Structure 1
Amino acid sequence: MSDFTESKRDLDAYLTARVPVIGVRSIEQVRAIRLIREVAKAPKRSALPFWIYTRATGLRDLRTNSPVSEDRSLVGAMEYAALQFTNRAQSTLVFVDPEDLSDDNTASRHFAELARLADSNSGCIVLITDTPLWGGLQRLGMSLRLDLPDASEMYDVIVSFLGDHRQVVPIAWSENDARRAAEFLVGVPEGTAVNVMATLVAKGSIAKEDVESVSLFKDKHFGDLSGLERVVLKAADHQVGGLSTLRTWLARKHQLMVADLRDTALRPPRGVLLVGVPGCGKSLSAKAVAAQWNLPLYRLDLATILGQYVGQSENRLREALDTADRVAPCVLWIDEIEKGLAGQNDSTGVGRRLVGQFLFWLQESRSRVFVVATSNDVRSLPPELLRKGRFDEMFFVDLPDADDRREIIQLYYRRYVTGAPSADLLDKLIGLSEGFAGSDIEAALHDVGAEIHLNGGVDRLRPDFVVETFANTIPLSRTNPEQIDEIRAWGRDRAVPAGRAAAGTGPGPASGGRRVLVMGEQQP
């Protein structure tokens, strides 16, 4: 059942029961008025009077929209309501955002008195606001919350709009395209969704590729997001070298991410936790997922979440996660998650509360938000975050083996040097890069590219310069071998290898106890 339908059912019950004051909380006044008008037009209420007051139009008949009084003031509308409640049974007056009724003030107390008067003669006041009502007023009646349209409602809005314009402009969208657009627009008001569709129609046609552009409209609508930073993707973010098991797993998750799961018990993928050696592609993987899935990427900066006052950090995290739900579908990147959620030994208890809040959201949210969390020091994370079922999977990103280094070298060679290395040079670089992380390989080939630029072209590059650059690059695995060995020893037995399952170069425990991910029709 959609939220609109459920709200309509509740409002119908409240009006039938003649509840003296009904609070309708919504940021969409037009949608809330439509909800009340549909309930008021039910045949069983045809003889009952309904009026509505707004600041712009004053007091009008809800059904016919004809004016009732020339006095457009709120005071005049309340006096009219008091007169009706005194002389006429079962009268209903709707007030749209009349005053600040969220705390104990003069306006709230006046409406409370008016509600008591309505109760004496089976009258009813409906208050449409975007904030909670004052407790003293809310206790006199009932309230409901009309949320933004869900995917099903948004789909109906889009289909209705397209149906009205099929004879106006060419429309190439299929039913699946309309559903994808609806999922992109979940989290925005209905009026904004209509404006987006109208903008597409205004250019003369609606093409297949316009489905992806809908997410850009949504991003502009939200603007600055609390606690979230929109990451602008570049062309290079589409490519990741190595990590073949992780890439295959992500490809299968993408199928679920875009699938229609309404008639199943399945939920969209939660996300993945990437742990392992620094510089081996964890953060790049988050960008690659968003780029390859054509989804916006948002970075949750936990450093900006933490506040100095009691409850401030928790409120900021809640706002950020709520915003992520509203901008869905998207990829949510949490870089070095241990720095924000490693709080099991925090005497203030803030870290534990943040962990609990994050895990509750991760467990209960049904939005298409795919979380990519990375960690270099997973030992400092609370154990409950690592439990199976929190994330869809936990992958260990190790130093690349020879085959992965071949792929990474070829990728960055094409980017910085252009062309492809010769077979002999490639074999030399693979041998020299033993113990290199992907970032070490990129840095070395970036230096080669810079040398080419300074010398005026690849033709003037000294043949041995590439080999010398690799030979003179000292990776982290050599400058800090103890730390790297410790990370690899932890990850190999506790997480699925992100690279080839058989990879096992370098120090570390035997691979006999390593977890291996098995995926349906995967080729060996």
Structure 2
Amino acid sequence: MQIAEPDFSRRLNISLRARVTLIVVITPEEERAVSGIREVCESWDPSRQCIAWDCVGGFSVLVGPKTFPGQSRDPLAALDDMIKTGEDAVVILKDFHEYWNNPQVKRRIRNFSQEFRYNRRTIVILTPATRVPDEIRDEAVIVHFPPPNAAELSADLDTLITTSGITCSLTDGGREKIIQAALGMTLNQARRAFSKAIVAHGRLDDRDIDAIIAEKKDILSASDALEFYSYTETPENVGGLAVLKEWLVLRERAFTQEAKNFGLPAPKGIALIGIPGTGKSLTAKMIADIWHLPLLRLDVGSLFGSLVGESEERTRRALALAETISPCILWVDEIEKAFAFGSGDAGTSQRVFAHLLTWMQDKTSPCFVVATANNIAALPPELLRKGRFDEIFFLDLPTFEERREIFSVHLRKRKCIPAEFDLETLARESDGYVGAEIEQTIIDAMYRAFSENMRRVTTEDILTCMQAQVPLSVSQRETVAALRTWLAEGRAQSASRVTTSRAPMHGKTIALETFAHERP
């Protein structure tokens, strides 16, 4: 039986009162776990003895009578010494995961767990390892000790500020975001992150939010399926998509305590559907910047393993880790390719997909899912139904105004001055080009200028390179038309603002701009 309740003290108290004889606590935070167990023993029954054992110091009494005759450092002998404890004692065993492979140790633990059920002795094994031997798993209650909550982190931050004597210039919102950024870390990890931020600036202010977020990257080393993105994109670096940007800014404070007090639930996620190259992946990075939350990319290919049940277990671990790090952005890129069902995998992909769908529907942790897709036909209908996403946005071919903005963004990125270019002509001549293609024409033009004695890039260079490129709206005309028809049928909201170049169709809008560069 597994316990995943965040209220560790209450659940432990219930287990002790129910005379559970063997409890395995999975946590890397040994010190916090021992402190929690000790507090439960002291508050419930101070006369009840609480004893801790490790392979170096042997036995030490934490609560109750301070004398204990056994001092063995050998695990088998230590288990024998437990007979000398009182019949209502709690014995905390550290380091015992190092002896999981010893059949005598496992047998002795099972024997004691069976014998102790007739009195009030309880064995508590602390381990950082998630794997528990099958022989012991059946006898034990398995508890996943939760990381520190916001109140614990806030109190620890106050202690650090007081003892260090530094100046704290955090705003109320900045303090809340720093605590949110530290959620999911162990207490030691959070302390190190706070200390490094203080040392970097000699003070603590709102600038340190991103530094705390970056510290979470180390936590992800436990999962090959999650990749931490340290670098994000600002809204100024993403051209167009005005409606989507407004939607995101409106929910910037959605993960704050103020929003909870107001009665607002944390947003679940969005699906970004549309034409390749229109900025879906860029948008996922932009959301992390606007909301100041860590961005995790789920590599679905890494979820699948060769052993029976391995894929499902990897999926559970990856999603559990994302919940531990929450609040965060979980980005699932090209989700239609990740879960393309095949007949040769014995239903593994379907089971993994079903687990992800169930998690998206039922999750209570503030994990905001951003799913991107290019091929609508490959998406199962149950993925896009209401309840799993707050909104489905369609990223269409950019309008005239958006193309002009995209040209400005990419010219500035490459140290060019947009005012020196004829943006009106570039926007008009790039009709039918997506953002990625516009970026490539600028890069091609820069190579052209660089090869000619590193002269300055001109509008004519970009136009020449544009003429040599076949846009996706031409090479994949049928695919693009099918995607835009899907939008016109009212199945999603346009991520861009409707302009005069768009006209109504079937109750929604669809771009009617012609493709100026269409080839015969």
Normalising by structure 2, report the TM-score. 0.85
* C-alpha distance after superposition, 1:491-514 (max 9, x if no partner): 332111111234665xxx952422
Shift of 1:229: 2.1
Flag the 1:278–1:17 CA change in 2: closer, same or farther, 3 A. closer
Map of 2:461 onto structure 1 = 465
Flag the 1:466–1:123 CA change in 2: closer, same or farther, 3 A. closer
In the TM superposition, what are the counterparts of 1:122-271 in structure 2 within 5 Å? Answer: 122-130=120-128, 131=130, 142=141, 144-162=143-161, 164-165=162-163, 168-202=165-199, 204-223=202-221, 225-233=223-231, 239-258=237-256, 260-263=258-261, 265-271=263-269
Map of 1:399 onto structure 2 = 397
Residue 261 of structure 2 aligns to a residue in which SS? coil
Shift of 1:201: 4.6
Residue 496 of structure 2 aligns to a residue in which SS? coil
Shift of 1:394: 0.8
In the TM superposition, what are the counterparts of 1:295-306 in structure 2 within 5 Å? Answer: 295-306=293-304
Map of 1:10 onto structure 2 = 11
Map of 2:56 onto structure 1 = 56
Asked whether the 8 Å contact 1:333–1:373 carries over to 2, the reply is yes
Residue 254 of structure 1 aligns to a residue in which SS? coil
Once residues 374 and 4 of structure 1 are traced to their aligned partners in structure 2, the CA distance between those partners, rounded to angstroms, is 32
Flag the 1:392–1:418 CA change in 2: closer, same or farther, 3 A. same
Once residues 308 and 115 of structure 2 are traced to their aligned partners in structure 1, the CA distance between those partners, rounded to angstroms, is 42
Map of 2:431 onto structure 1 = 434
Map of 1:488 onto structure 2 = 484
Which residue type is aligned with residue 324 of structure 2?
R
How many residue pairs get aligned? The number is 503
Map of 2:33 onto structure 1 = 32
Flag the 1:513–1:436 CA change in 2: closer, same or farther, 3 A. same
* Residue ranges of structure 2 left out of the alignment (5+ in a row): 511-520
Task: Kindly report the root-mean-square deviation, in angstroms, between the aligned alpha carbons of the 2 structures.
Answer: 3.3
Shift of 1:227: 0.6
Residue 248 of structure 1 aligns to a residue in which SS? helix
Could you tell me which of 481, 487, 508 is aligned with 1:514? 508
- What percentage of residue pairs aligned between the two structures are identical? 27
Flag the 1:136–1:375 CA change in 2: closer, same or farther, 3 A. closer
Asked whether the 8 Å contact 1:200–1:206 carries over to 2, the reply is yes
Which residue type is aligned with residue 388 of structure 1?
K
Could you tell me which of 359, 362, 376 is aligned with 2:360? 362
* C-alpha distance after superposition, 1:222-275 (max 9, x if no partner): 446321223342668851111111111121122314554443553322221111
Once residues 236 and 46 of structure 1 are traced to their aligned partners in structure 2, the CA distance between those partners, rounded to angstroms, is 56
In the TM superposition, what are the counterparts of 1:72-83 in structure 2 within 5 Å? Answer: 72-83=73-84
Asked whether the 8 Å contact 1:495–1:514 carries over to 2, the reply is no
Asked whether the 8 Å contact 1:417–1:449 carries over to 2, the reply is no
Which residue type is aligned with residue 185 of structure 1?
A
Flag the 1:235–1:496 CA change in 2: closer, same or farther, 3 A. closer
Residue 431 of structure 1 aligns to a residue in which SS? helix
> Once structures 1 and 2 are overlaid, which stretch shifts more, 96-105 or 302-311?
96-105
> Once structures 1 and 2 are overlaid, which stretch shifts more, 322-331 or 127-136?
127-136
2:471 equivalent to 1:475: yes
Flag the 1:9–1:308 CA change in 2: closer, same or farther, 3 A. closer
Asked whether the 8 Å contact 1:337–1:374 carries over to 2, the reply is yes
Flag the 1:515–1:309 CA change in 2: closer, same or farther, 3 A. farther
Residue 320 of structure 2 aligns to a residue in which SS? helix
Normalising by structure 1, report the TM-score. 0.84
In the TM superposition, what are the counterparts of 1:247-326 in structure 2 within 5 Å? Answer: 247-258=245-256, 260-263=258-261, 265-326=263-324
* C-alpha distance after superposition, 1:271-300 (max 9, x if no partner): 211111111111221222223433333322
2:105 equivalent to 1:107: yes
Asked whether the 8 Å contact 2:238–2:283 carries over to 1, the reply is yes
Asked whether the 8 Å contact 1:275–1:378 carries over to 2, the reply is yes
